[in-house]
Structure 1
Amino acid sequence: MSNILRRGRLEAAPDEEILRYTSSMEADRWIFYADIAVDLAHTVMLKEQGIIRGEDCSKILSGLLKVREEGMEKLDFSYEDIHISLESRLIDMVGEEVGGRMHSGRSRNDEVATCIRLALRDELLGLLEELFTLRKTFLALAEKHTKTLMPGFTHLQHAQPTTLAHHLSAHESALSRDFDRVLDAFSRVNLCPLGAAAFASTGFSLNRKRTQELLGFAGMLENSMDAVSSRDFLIECASVFANLMINLSRMAEELVVWSSSEFNFIELDDTYASTSSIMPQKKNPDTAELMRGKTGVATGALMSLLTICKGLPLSYNRDLQEATPNIWRSAETVRASVRVMEGMARTMKVHPDVLAAQSVTGFTTATELADTFVRETGIPFRTAHQLVGVLARDSEKPTLEKIDSIAEVVLGESLSDRGLTEKMVREALNPVSNIERRKVPGGPAPEEMQRYLGKRQADLELNEQEIATLKDSIDSAFENLLSVVEEYRKD
């Protein structure tokens, strides 16, 4: 049949190049099922409001279910978007006298805005579940390694002794903030623009609250102009995705470095490694390297969205068609990266002996030695800092005799005269003692780490309940929608 959109106002059809240039059909694969859900809800509401007859509603609903069953591949890809292609397919099935009524009181503008929010909502829910699993894996690893010594770094230089649990839980803490950001973005995605029509609403007596409830949205975007033209929710999600990918990239970088011969802290499972085409001995951390590279997809999507949306006048502009492919590409990349990071972390082999040996390399106990001088002798920290700094120039292990000789030059007296003993020095240089002293909230002391991990586990359980509540709400809404559809389809 003729193009149902162009046959009135326009005479000439676009040529093949223009069609390719303007079509969104490939990107619309993401919203195929969302579009059908929106059509079902809108049709139900039209019937309930007396805008279309029950008989027509029944035929439209049956046709939509048939289109869903057939899948997107049965649609005509010569149309410029999925909405017109899907409606055209429906009209082919039930005739224009019936199928042509489905679009009453609606525009593609509010339709696509609703479809994007539905599909993106599902992506965010999936990401929340995947982040939950990744955080759970990090916490489980941390529980096993509260006493596993390792060097902590600043500027990638050995700094102070810490534990692997302390290090892993730092990453989990960042991921928990990412979780909160996704959850927060979800609340603004989960709003319904349907019923706004092109931008000035409609003269049909639509029940916007009804379609909102049928589609499981928590609220409504009331201003019809804002409802169809705003894409700030995409920018927000893209920003959240970029932030999360940057955090994952930092983790991936450490896995690359730690699995090198120079560090040898861990070994990645073979599943996440590759070898060389020429050097048979190589085991390369390619998966982690690719994760660093894929961060560019998320940051690039954010930049693209900012640029696309910048300077657009109200209300709807076709520029916005270019926004959605970026968010889908970013969402797909981020979700896959979270799943892959979870697998790499869960299956990696830790080398505790290497970590422990390296925990004191580079005089990492220097800070505790300076702190000991302050606590035991009463000298100012800045003076203690100077004394230990001089000691650090010497490659040999500090002794009380060396400390006293330096103190006599700097202070004019020895620290042993102020009560410092050889035992105190030995304890300060012991990495285990170093860590056990650090009991302040958030420190690496095993006792403190156990408290902290217990708190993080409790937070994780609350997050699990939040996910379940959101899913139950949406699942219940769609079960109700399908129940109503089935009821009206049989009328």
Structure 2
Amino acid sequence: MDLKEYIENLDGRDFPGKTFAESVLKPIFNVQREYYYKPFIKISKAHVVMLYEQNIIKIQESKKLLEGLNKIEEMDFTSVEYNAKYEDMFFTVENQLENLVGKDLAGRLHIARSRNDLDICEFRMVLRLKTVELMKNLNNFRKVLLSLAEEHKETVMPAYTHTQPAQPTTLSHYILAFYDSLSRDFERIKRAYENINLSPIGAAAITTTGFPINRERMSKLLGFNDLVENSYDAIAGSDYLMELASTLMILNTNMSKFIKDTLDFCTKEFNVFYLTDPYVQRSSIMPQKRNPSSLEHTRPMASEAIGEAKCVFDMLHNTPFGDIVDTEEQLQPHLYESIDYTLRILKIFTSVFATMNVNKKVLLDRAKEGFITVTELADTLVREKGLSFRKSHKITGAIVRYLSNNNLTIENITPEIIDKISLELGGEEIHISAEDIAKALDPINFVNIRKVTGGPAPEEVERMLQNRNNSFIKDIEYQRRCLISLEESEKLLNQAVASILNK
């Protein structure tokens, strides 16, 4: 027996071949069964309503179709196994409908529609719900951050540049900086949602149909904000997938940077964040250990979320602009996985940050170390003594080197040391008082006088907080409106179905 004959005997000579069915169609069916069964039934009901309202099918036909669809909807489809006889979920459900209402009538349901616009509509319906869930959990975490920022407006700490202590700031200033990056992430999610929640239904295969359908009515019944107007674009356009994928990659990259900082702050050496018991694991051998494992697990999750989202680009790159399987059931779960990992990260951080303790004393002590307030000493020499900043910077740098070389600290700076160094470098003494030096080197003063827009001074941070809280209320309302809109569309569809059934 040659290889061809062997394969034909193994796979059969009719569609679908055993290998094709087992390797491709069955896994795809399992994805359809998990995610798209309910959306498929909703789309089918809306299609029947629209066909009746457009006088394309009769009232009795509509009623029987809707009754059949209601019965199928009540079935436990999760127990349905793949049957190669029906190829995919679409034909499986169609067969069930045929058994209930007859083959001819069941076939009328497919007037003016295709698996092309059906599939893409299902994808968009599932994605929009997951995107609303993403918005909700991101907002939960942002709310915790706002609360922490409010609590720590006067918690002075070092700000870091190039991983080194740079200048004093406040924990609130730092948290608000991260909050603002998450707020931009929320705006990106909103834009992605607006482009996901557009209806492709009515595009049919790719050129619409010769039947007088009403795409706008279908869009409203299914809770979409508008249409993907151009039918070719409705089928071929995949940028709504890439937009969400890129948003997920940016969000998780932002989160990964925060994860890195947070884990550093949890170390014994930093001793800044203290996680409460529900979020630490004990060592199996070392009794003293409090491992921040809840946060550690989020680091690979962020990487997994980014990787799954990147798969969208890898799978769509260099594909034709048209109806292709590359955008379908083998791609969609990568987005779902990315969202799932992201949700898990956000939930963990929400719980951890809502309950953790902050070591304010250590932060303040750190802000007094390492000469990180000497920028203000240089500024004081400019303001009070009329030096150019370059000259002041040179003198201040020499003071730091002098102290370091002599094993002295910032507290050891005296008017005499400054006069000695300024005389050596500039040929004249500065005559600054000890009180002015102490004020310039005080990290609390350093923070308080930085009242410029966006600075760490408590009153400026308070202004930013009020602004963020006002914007946050709008974001919460947007998320709420999205969910209400979807719920109202479901009621609208149910009312339209009931109206037909009651005729």
Shorter-chain-normalised TM-score: which range?
over 0.9
Give 1:120's aligned amino acid: L
For the structure 1 residues 297 and 94, does the alpha-carbon distance in structure 2 shift closer, same or farther, using more than 3 Å as the test?
farther
- Residue 444 of structure 1, CA deviation: 0.9
Asked if 1:186 corresponds to 2:193, the answer is yes
For the structure 1 residues 101 and 403, does the alpha-carbon distance in structure 2 shift closer, same or farther, using more than 3 Å as the test?
same
TM-score, with length taken from structure 2: 0.91
For the structure 1 residues 12 and 312, does the alpha-carbon distance in structure 2 shift closer, same or farther, using more than 3 Å as the test?
same
Asked if 1:311 corresponds to 2:314, the answer is no
Are the equivalent residues in 1 in contact too, given 2:249–2:310 (CA < 8 A)? no
Aligned to 1:369: 377
For residues 157 and 465 of structure 2, what CA distance do their matches in structure 1 show? 18
Give 2:409's aligned amino acid: E
For the structure 1 residues 101 and 76, does the alpha-carbon distance in structure 2 shift closer, same or farther, using more than 3 Å as the test?
farther
- Choose from 478, 482, 485 the match for 1:466: 478
Aligned to 1:405: 420
- Residue 80 of structure 1, CA deviation: 4.8
Are the equivalent residues in 2 in contact too, given 1:45–1:207 (CA < 8 A)? yes
Q: Percent identity over the alignment?
A: 35
Are the equivalent residues in 2 in contact too, given 1:24–1:80 (CA < 8 A)? no
For the structure 1 residues 480 and 355, does the alpha-carbon distance in structure 2 shift closer, same or farther, using more than 3 Å as the test?
same
For the structure 1 residues 51 and 11, does the alpha-carbon distance in structure 2 shift closer, same or farther, using more than 3 Å as the test?
farther
Asked if 1:142 corresponds to 2:117, the answer is no
Asked if 1:19 corresponds to 2:16, the answer is no
TM-score, with length taken from structure 1: 0.93
For the structure 1 residues 62 and 282, does the alpha-carbon distance in structure 2 shift closer, same or farther, using more than 3 Å as the test?
farther
Give 1:50's aligned amino acid: N
Give 1:94's aligned amino acid: V
Give 2:28's aligned amino acid: S
Aligned to 1:41: 46
Aligned to 2:10: none
Q: Superposition RMSD on alpha carbons, in Å?
A: 1.8
- Residue 97 of structure 1, CA deviation: 2.6
State the SS of the aligned residue for 2:445: helix
Aligned to 1:428: 440
For residues 16 and 89 of structure 1, what CA distance do their matches in structure 2 show? 25
Are the equivalent residues in 2 in contact too, given 1:374–1:380 (CA < 8 A)? yes
Asked if 1:329 corresponds to 2:341, the answer is no
Question: Comparing 84-93 with 395-404, which one deviates more in the overlay?
Answer: 84-93
Question: Comparing 309-318 with 431-440, which one deviates more in the overlay?
Answer: 309-318
1:62-73 aligned within 5 A: 62-73=67-78
Give 1:408's aligned amino acid: L
Unaligned runs of 5+ in 2: 1-12
For residues 16 and 105 of structure 2, what CA distance do their matches in structure 1 show? 26
Asked if 1:396 corresponds to 2:404, the answer is no
For residues 262 and 369 of structure 2, what CA distance do their matches in structure 1 show? 20
- Choose from 212, 215, 219 the match for 1:205: 212
Aligned to 2:168: 161
For residues 386 and 80 of structure 1, what CA distance do their matches in structure 2 show? 78
For residues 80 and 387 of structure 1, what CA distance do their matches in structure 2 show? 80
Give 1:11's aligned amino acid: D
Give 1:356's aligned amino acid: L
For residues 90 and 339 of structure 1, what CA distance do their matches in structure 2 show? 41
State the SS of the aligned residue for 2:471: helix
1:262-273 aligned within 5 A: 262-273=269-280
Aligned to 1:110: 117
Asked if 1:301 corresponds to 2:308, the answer is yes
Unaligned runs of 5+ in 1: 1-9
For the structure 1 residues 25 and 274, does the alpha-carbon distance in structure 2 shift closer, same or farther, using more than 3 Å as the test?
farther
Asked if 1:92 corresponds to 2:96, the answer is no
Give 2:51's aligned amino acid: L
- Residue 249 of structure 1, CA deviation: 1.4
For residues 287 and 88 of structure 1, what CA distance do their matches in structure 2 show? 48
- Residue 284 of structure 1, CA deviation: 1.5
Are the equivalent residues in 1 in contact too, given 2:419–2:430 (CA < 8 A)? yes
For the structure 1 residues 406 and 84, does the alpha-carbon distance in structure 2 shift closer, same or farther, using more than 3 Å as the test?
farther
Are the equivalent residues in 2 in contact too, given 1:192–1:220 (CA < 8 A)? yes
For the structure 1 residues 92 and 390, does the alpha-carbon distance in structure 2 shift closer, same or farther, using more than 3 Å as the test?
farther
Are the equivalent residues in 1 in contact too, given 2:130–2:339 (CA < 8 A)? yes
For the structure 1 residues 133 and 212, does the alpha-carbon distance in structure 2 shift closer, same or farther, using more than 3 Å as the test?
same
For residues 71 and 335 of structure 1, what CA distance do their matches in structure 2 show? 28
Are the equivalent residues in 2 in contact too, given 1:75–1:89 (CA < 8 A)? no
For the structure 1 residues 21 and 280, does the alpha-carbon distance in structure 2 shift closer, same or farther, using more than 3 Å as the test?
farther
**Partner deviation per Cα, 1:451-490 (whole Å, 9 max, x = no partner):** 1111111111122222233333222222111111122233
For residues 84 and 139 of structure 1, what CA distance do their matches in structure 2 show? 51
Give 1:403's aligned amino acid: I
For residues 434 and 40 of structure 1, what CA distance do their matches in structure 2 show? 66
**Partner deviation per Cα, 1:351-403 (whole Å, 9 max, x = no partner):** 11111111222111111111111111111112222222222222322222111
For the structure 1 residues 382 and 49, does the alpha-carbon distance in structure 2 shift closer, same or farther, using more than 3 Å as the test?
same
- Choose from 294, 297, 300 the match for 1:290: 297
Are the equivalent residues in 1 in contact too, given 2:265–2:273 (CA < 8 A)? yes
Question: Comparing 477-486 with 391-400, which one deviates more in the overlay?
Answer: 391-400
- Choose from 325, 331, 355 the match for 1:347: 355
For the structure 1 residues 88 and 414, does the alpha-carbon distance in structure 2 shift closer, same or farther, using more than 3 Å as the test?
farther
State the SS of the aligned residue for 1:25: helix
Question: Comparing 435-444 with 126-135, which one deviates more in the overlay?
Answer: 126-135
For the structure 1 residues 384 and 201, does the alpha-carbon distance in structure 2 shift closer, same or farther, using more than 3 Å as the test?
same
For residues 182 and 498 of structure 2, what CA distance do their matches in structure 1 show? 42
Are the equivalent residues in 1 in contact too, given 2:16–2:87 (CA < 8 A)? no
State the SS of the aligned residue for 2:29: coil
State the SS of the aligned residue for 2:331: helix
For residues 91 and 281 of structure 1, what CA distance do their matches in structure 2 show? 67
- Residue 21 of structure 1, CA deviation: 2.4
- Choose from 445, 452, 467 the match for 1:440: 452
Give 1:211's aligned amino acid: M
For residues 90 and 249 of structure 1, what CA distance do their matches in structure 2 show? 49
Aligned to 1:414: 429
Question: Comparing 27-36 with 449-458, which one deviates more in the overlay?
Answer: 27-36
Question: Comparing 400-409 with 127-136, which one deviates more in the overlay?
Answer: 127-136
State the SS of the aligned residue for 2:108: coil
For residues 112 and 246 of structure 1, what CA distance do their matches in structure 2 show? 31
For residues 353 and 268 of structure 1, what CA distance do their matches in structure 2 show? 17
State the SS of the aligned residue for 1:262: coil
Moved over 6 A (4+): none
Are the equivalent residues in 2 in contact too, given 1:30–1:328 (CA < 8 A)? no
Give 2:134's aligned amino acid: L
